[in-house]
Amino acid sequence: MYHALYNHIDRFTNLSIEEHELLATLVQPASYKKKAYLLEAGQTCRANYFVVKGCLRLYFIDIKGAEQTTQFAIENWWISDLTSFLSQRPSDFYIQAAEQTEVIIIEQRHYDELFLKLPKLEKYFRMIFQKLHQASQIRIKYLYSQTAEERYINFNKLFPEFVQRVPQYMLASYLGFTPEFLSKIRAKK
C-alpha cells in the first residue's frame, strides 16, 4: 500500500530505502466505506490523507443548508482541512468518502517529526501545496469567468474520470450549480 505514496513522493524528490522505511513508521493505512466521514464540522482535523484508491471530498454546508464541495481527491492526491489541521482548531468542513477509499494518513502529531527526520518531505509538501493552491485559484477564476456549461465542459475535458465516478449532486456542487442544471447540460449532449 505504501508503494503508491513512495512513487508519488519520488516524482518530486528521491527518498532512499531507509527513508521509505522511516516514513512507514510515521504514517498509517486506513480504509473507509462509501459515505463514511473522516472529518465532520466542529471536529478538529487531525490528519492529512493521501488517497491510494478511491475518492474523498471536502465540503461545507452553506447558509441555505446545501452542501458545497470545494475539493475532491482521487488516487495520488492529498486532502485535508489544512486550516484546522495546522491550527488545531475546529473545522467548518466535512471530509467524506465518495466511494470505498483506501488512504495513508499522516497524523498532525507526527507532522513536525516527519519534517525533522525526513527534511526532503518539506520540498515535497511545498510542491504539493503549490499545485493545490494553483488548482484552487483556477477553480475560483472559472467560477467567476465561465458559464456553468463552460465549467462543466472544461471539467469533463480535464477530469473525465470524475464525471463517471462522482455522484451528480457532488459534481454539480463542486462546479457551482444544481444537480438539475447538470442534468439539463448532459441532456443536450
pLDDT of residue 46: 96
Q: Is the pTM of this model over 0.75?
A: yes
CATH number at residue 65: 2.60.120.10
pLDDT one-digit tens code per residue, 57-103: 999 999 999 999 999 999 999 999 999 999 999 999 999 999 999 99
The chain-wide mean pLDDT, for the chain, equals 93
pLDDT at 185: 84
Q: What is the helix (H) or strand (E) element at residue 184, kind and residue range?
A: helix 179-188
Q: How many CA atoms lie within 13 A of 114 on its CB side?
A: 22
pLDDT at position 161, please?
A: 79
Q: Does some domain include residue 59? A: yes
Residue 124 lies in a domain: no
For 25-56, write each residue's pLDDT tens digit.
999 999 999 999 999 999 999 999 999 999 99
Q: Is residue 133 part of a domain?
A: no
Give the pLDDT confidence score for residue 189 in this predicted structure. 64
Query: Do the domain assignments include residue 54?
Result: yes
- Neighbour count for residue 39 (Cβ, 10 Å): 23
Q: How many domains does the chain have?
A: 1
The residue segments making up the domain with residue 68 are 2-118
| Top-confidence residue, 160 or 77 | 77
Distances (CA, A) of 64 to 10, 42, 60, 68, 137: 44, 18, 11, 10, 25
